[in-house]
Amino acid sequence: MNTIIQEILVFATLALAVLFLVKKFFLKKRKPKKACGTDDCGCH
Is the confidence at residue 33, as pLDDT, over 90?
A: no
What region, left, alpha or beta, does residue 35 occupy, with left being phi > 0 and alpha being psi -120 to 50 degrees? beta
Is the confidence at residue 6, as pLDDT, over 90?
A: yes
**Does residue 44 or residue 9 have the better pLDDT?**
9
**Does residue 33 or residue 10 have the better pLDDT?**
10
- 4 close to 11: Cβ distance less than 8 angstroms: no
pTM of the model: 0.57
User: In angstroms, rounded to a whole number, what is the distance separating the alpha carbons of residues 36 and 20?
Assistant: 31
**Per-residue model confidence as pLDDT tens digits over 7-32:** 999 999 999 999 999 999 988 776 65
The one-letter amino acid code at 28 reads K
